[in-house]
Amino acid sequence: MRIVSSSIDPHRKESDVSGEHTVLYPTTCAEVHEALNYKPDVPLLVRSGRHAADSGRVDGTAAVVVNLRKFAAVEIDGERVTVGAGATTYDLAVKLTEKKLFLPLDGNPNKSVLSNALSTVNDLVHHDLLSAFAESYKYVAKESAQPVDTRDATEAKNHVITNVVFIALPTDAAKQYKMTRLTFVYTTDHFKHVVDHIISHKPGPSTRCVVRVFSGAYGMAMFTVTTMCKEGSSEFINKMIQELKEKEQYVEELMLDKASAEGVEIVQAVAEEGQTSQYLYEEHRTHYAGVVTTPDQCSDYFTAVDKVFGSSPTQELSVKVSSSLRVEKEGSLAVSVSLHGPSPSFQTPDDKKLHRDFDGLLPSVREPPVQLQDLPAVPPSVNEGKTVCYDIPGFGGEVFDKTEKEYENKTTQYATTSYTDEKDRERMHPFVIGYPESKADVVAFVKYAIDKGKKVVARSGGHQYCGLSSGGEDTMLLSMDFLHDVTVFDAPQQKVMARLGPGARLTTLAAEMKKKGVTIPHGECPEVCIGGHVQTGGFGHLLRSYGLALDHVNSFEIVLNLNGRVSNHTIKRPSKKVDEKSSIEDRIYWGVLGGGPGSFGVVTEIEFECIRDAAHRFSRGYNGVYRYSKNRFEEAMGVVQRRTQQVVQDRSGPLTDGSLSKDCDLMISAMTNSGDLMGGTFKPSVILVEMVHGNVDDTPLQTSDIERMEDEITKITNAKPWMLLPKIPTSNDFDLRSPRTLSFMSNAFVRNTGMTRDGREYKFPYVKRLNCTTDALTDEFVEKFIDLVHEAITTREVKLVFQMVMGGGAYEENGTKGITSIPHRNNVIGIVFDVFYEEGGKDIATKLHNKFGALLPCFSKGKDIRMTWGSFGEIKMEKMWESYYGDSELYRRLQKLKRDVDPQDVFHTPFTVQLDSSDDEQDPTAKRQKTSW
């Protein structure tokens, strides 16, 4: 049994127990008994998994915590379902869906099934609590190592339950349950009208109605009305829609869609529904629950909610809010509100005011923090006493090989669902997967791989689009999940530094930096981790203002196989331009930052010099989400085209009209309606407009500068056709009227709500494309591209994600320093064109993908310019190096560095920098001069 101190427990960040304590991870009933008697004289706490049901955050100082994460199996035999104490609602929902069975599940996908089964209140399917379907419980008592089976839940609750057996309903019997869901854009009046209607008309004794208000994708303010009934279809929803239409002129525009499900279909819908109220970053959570009975209380509730979802762009909220309400039989409202965000000491004045509003309305409920995203890449702790095929000397983390049940789950990454061909899947199934918990673990793992003749790949976030943060049978994979610490600290000369583990997610680092009033350039994808992100550049919303993430690296640590010796090295920022005569340390810095992720070693830590808010006091920006229309997208592309012309013009001399400041960034995105109403991640077809003025020189903006930026926004806003609500309210709206700190905007741009469970925009496979050009956009390209985007957005079988990133400014100028190897610094614009497809839609997606390729002659004069962060198609670098690196001299220098620091090609995928096959030193055993260090 694994026994660790909480200070080094890799799962400590998701624990609801504070204080220094001991954590035990039993894997058998015998080990549970051993754990219960481990230290009889100290407090004992038991956790059933990633969401404890009946405890608040407790002080566990000197206590023993028994964590049942390893009891997570779900086994189904006919209608008999055996569920481990650590399995989640989502785990169970997936298995039930596969077998077409039904059980009434809670709406929180990360809550343990055990917590659900012991609950006396079910989230939606209140007609039959899950406990009513429980046939028996297995528990372990402190007094005996022999597990006990019982039908008595009360008896079992007095001990440690390890699994529960349920009897599920088959498809036909489950059809008696029917569910309907409406999704609306939030507006102040409309939300109140809908709730008032529900209160006054009461759904009836056979129907349960729940209203949820939340931040959806891109922060869009939305609310849903969900009804569940048993034995007969409820007409409540239809009557409500009809009456609202009679009272409100624009109900159909505000109502995004309507969806229904019955029986087995509801299982997955209910499990996924909790995603509407979950956030990918959380430090502090306050939960309020109670009953609202008087008109004044109702009014106070609406006012408090509206401060979040109908908020003014001048407001600054770090707290994310989700709320649900249910109409009780007597007409009162049962209200639940969750506030997620930074701890009180880091809350803004608006955050604190919001807490006070809810404090005066509802009693707070002690509720533990939830592990909000249990991604497949994050493993449970392993049993120290377990026999494994590869007991790696000196490696303190856990190791999974193909013989273990959890192996398949650990291979999952962002690209998994996009590759269904068996050959492609094989290259994402490595020999073993190791989870290091220290830099020393990385060294031990690499040494072992070399001894066994295996390649090494490091996976930080697993977001590589072609699945190349993995490998096949010849590869040992290092999953860097637990090297995820974020430390921000003051340094001499008024500098602020951030020391990050490669497994730190963008959601986490952005929020932590915001607390200190600093930031670095970075992207927006929530599950991207900094390790791979910085090695491929770190493109984001501050590109023209401050360049790439890698431009701000002060130093990094990396495990190298240098001169046949595996060790961890610290590499510092060079003081001058790097060339082939530079020191090996400077060349490593140059090559690792931009030259090809994972090509030279395993990065174990990165230290950044941060950008301070206080040094750029007049920064400001814009964040807006608009309903998609072809005319609106045409106006947006007109703005983009003019900006590309100005980037090119700027190269020949300063702009005389001041129309494009070098520290002004613009990003335009367009996404298709998700259609996933029942899954809780619904979003309409939208255009996102995001702008940042970085205020590099810390001088106040002229009114004319602000007006020029606002004019671009107005062109998009006022596009025809006219709509009642062209701009969709979001929970993080801000505009150009007043300054916004860089750290606030950087944090706001990270997509931390409304995504699928694995951080993807849609749950479908997709065909990716990212191409760049060094020229301004032509009229021919813009016209044809607008038509192509419209075709993709209006084609039912596919879902489009279009994004763009604008070059010039600091992105281009920082390249002249010559200390990083990122290619294509002269790009004017890069365009992402990702086509997700539903079943039967792959040929359509491929056709659209190829249509974009056919536009390259009028986009980039036929050049296929790519970036390593957005790989697609052919993955063999020996065939594609010209597209990714362009300059043959640049790639030759990288190959020379590869030969000098990794002559055995230990750190290898088909996409890394390849050893030059023409080099007469291709044989790694050949005599060669050692690199001096």
Q: Would you state the structure tokens that stand for residue 66, as one six-digit string?
A: 């028994």
pLDDT of residue 121: 56
Q: Would you state the structure tokens that stand for residue 522, as one six-digit string?
A: 């970075």
CA-CA distances (angstroms) from residue 598 to 378, 451, 480? 20, 19, 13
Looking at the whole model, is its pTM more than 0.85? yes
How far is it, in rounded angstroms, from Cα 371 to Cα 866? Answer: 37
pLDDT of residue 605: 99
In the predicted model, residues of the chain with pLDDT beneath 70 are 10-16, 49-58, 107-108, 119-128, 231-234, 270-285, 311-314, 329-331, 364-390, 653-660, 674-683, 720-725, 753-759, 918-933
Question: 10 Å Cβ neighbour count for 789?
Answer: 23
* Residue carrying the six token digits 């963008």: 506
pLDDT of residue 557: 99
DSSP secondary structure letters along 588-632: HHHHHTTS-TTSS-EEEEEEEEPEEGGG-TT-EEEEEEEE--HHH
pLDDT of residue 803: 96
pLDDT of residue 545: 96
CB 37 within 8 A of CB 70: no
Domains of the chain, residue spans: 1-170, 398-479
pLDDT of residue 388: 42
How far is it, in rounded angstroms, from Cα 323 to Cα 339? Answer: 9
Residue 312 burial (C-beta neighbours within 10 Å; 0-12, 13-18, 19+):
exposed
How far is it, in rounded angstroms, from Cα 134 to Cα 164? Answer: 7
Q: What is the mean pLDDT of the chain?
A: 85
Nearest to 476 by CA among 146, 819, 907: 907
Nearest to 181 by CA among 219, 224, 218, 151: 224
Under DSSP, is residue 545 helix (H, G, I), strand (E, B) or coil? helix
- Domain 1-170 listed as CATH 2.60.40.10: no
pLDDT of residue 366: 46
Question: Which residues have CB under 8 Å from 111's CB, separation 6+?
Answer: 50, 51, 53, 88, 89, 274, 370
C-alpha torsion sign, points 50, 55, 57, 63: negative
How far is it, in rounded angstroms, from Cα 127 to Cα 138? Answer: 26
Question: 10 Å Cβ neighbour count for 351?
Answer: 18
Question: Which residues have CB under 8 Å from 537's CB, separation 6+?
Answer: 548, 549, 550, 594, 822, 867, 868, 869
pLDDT of residue 84: 94
Residue 587 burial (C-beta neighbours within 10 Å; 0-12, 13-18, 19+):
buried
Candidates 1.50.10.20, 3.30.43.10, 3.40.190.80, 3.30.70.420; CATH matching 398-479: 3.30.43.10
pLDDT of residue 6: 79
CB 483 within 8 A of CB 441: no
| Cis omega (within 30 of 0) for bond into 721 | yes
Q: Would you state the structure tokens that stand for residue 651, as one six-digit string?
A: 């190269």
CB 280 within 8 A of CB 219: no
pLDDT of residue 678: 47
Q: Would you state the structure tokens that stand for residue 681, as one six-digit string?
A: 């991640």
DSSP secondary structure letters along 247-305: H-TTHHHHEEEEEEEETHHHHHHHHHHGGGG--S--SEEEEEEEEE-SHHHHHHHHHHH
pLDDT of residue 276: 42
- E strand intervals along 436-509: 455-459, 475-479, 486-491, 495-500
How far is it, in rounded angstroms, from Cα 169 to Cα 328? Answer: 28
In DSSP terms, 802 is beta-bridged to: 670, 833
pLDDT of residue 925: 39
